Amino acid sequence: MGQELIDQTVNGIKMKVLVEGSGPPLLLVHGFPLNHRMWQSQIEYFKNEFTVLAPDLRGFGATEITRGTVTMKQHAEDLHMLLNELNVEEPVIFCGLSMGGYIAWEFWKHFPDSLRALILCDTRDGSDTEAGINNRLKMIDLVMKHGPESISSSMIPNLISESSHQNYPDIAKNLIQMIESTDREGIAASQRGMAERNDFSEELRGIQIPTLCIVGSEDQLTPPDVMKTMSSQIPNSKYTQISGVGHMAPMEAPAEVNQEFHHFLVSCRMN
């Protein structure tokens, strides 16, 4: 896509981040097992009004990998240090998809002064069930033995809706490319981190900042009812559903999602 990533040493690793535009900082935090490129449409749209920061998280994209377990708190600490290193002094609008949302909870908990607003896309507040943890362990096993190619195609039906798959084949192609370019150790480390992540359901009432919860109507992984209940518990939250799309709503329906983000961001800036 021809955009240059900045190299930044953060908590002992080399992290890559795309920084585009100027204005209030908008931090775009990708889902699993992807990288900053999932936000391409949002980067293009929002760089005219915001400083868009789109990092590759530890173990993903062009950022260095660490073995073992990478917790959601570790990702949040990486992002906080990254912002410090980039001299971003203003509190950020934190926009996270799925795993990016799990990281948002930790960022809110540990760095509240660095946060201005939240955009939570296709994510959840609860931790994993036992069955969920077992599925993660199975995926780790498969990926460590056979590489990301062994999971990429089978993930697609959970990531995008049937109609997105039929009508926009490039979306699945891009996702497969992102998944297959991810290192197996990076996948395993964050998968372990997600398996042991905290349950934030009891903390939602304490989130006072403006929040947008946005979900695809066909999302299988973090379905609309989960997002709607979650949003109803955050005092200053708006809930929006994008029809006909799945878990990767920002990639599947970029125009609608950008419009929703835009309305929300305008309202935040008027606060």
What does the per-residue mask of binding to ligand MLT show for 217-246, with x meaning CB under 6 A? ----x-------------------------
Q: Is 98 near ligand MLT (CB under 6 A)?
A: yes
Residue 9 or residue 158: which is nearer to ligand MLT going by CB? 158
Task: Note whether 99 binds ligand MLT by CB under 6 A.
Answer: yes
Based on CB atoms, which residue is closest to ligand MLT, 52 or 226? Answer: 226
55 lies in the site for ligand MLT, by CB under 6 A:
no
Which residue of 32, 105, 200, 239 would you call a contact of ligand MLT, by CB under 6 A?
32
Q: Does 182 bind ligand MLT (CB under 6 A)?
A: no
If the CB atoms of residues 98 and 161 are measured against ligand MLT, the closer one turns out to be 98
Asked if 92 interacts with ligand MLT (CB under 6 A), we say no
Does residue number 200 form part of the binding site for ligand MLT (CB under 6 A)?
Answer: no
Nearer to ligand MLT, 7 or 141 (CB): 141
Which residues are CB-contacts of 58 (< 8 A; sequence separation ≥ 6)? 13, 15, 64, 65, 66, 70, 74, 75, 78, 186, 189, 190
What ranges in the chain are assigned the alpha helix state H? 40-46, 72-85, 99-110, 130-146, 149-159, 162-167, 169-180, 184-195, 224-233, 249-252, 254-270
Q: How far is the CB of 216 from ligand MLT (least distance, A)?
A: 12
> What strands, in cross-sheet order, belong to the sheet with 92-97?
5-10, 13-20, 51-55, 25-29, 92-97, 115-121, 211-216, 237-242
Residue 194 binding ligand MLT, by CB under 6 A: yes
- Return d(Cα 119, Cα 207) in angstroms, integer: 12
Inter-axis angle of helices 99-110 and 72-85, to 10 degrees?
Answer: 70
List the structure tokens of 195.
Answer: 């398996």
- Cβ-contact 248, 38 below 8 angstroms: yes
* 13-20/25-29 β-pairing: unpaired
Give least dist CB 110 to ligand MLT, A: 20
Please, what is the minimum distance in Å from the beta carbon of residue 171 to ligand MLT? 14
Residues at the interface with ligand MLT (CB under 6 A): 31-32, 98-99, 194, 221, 247
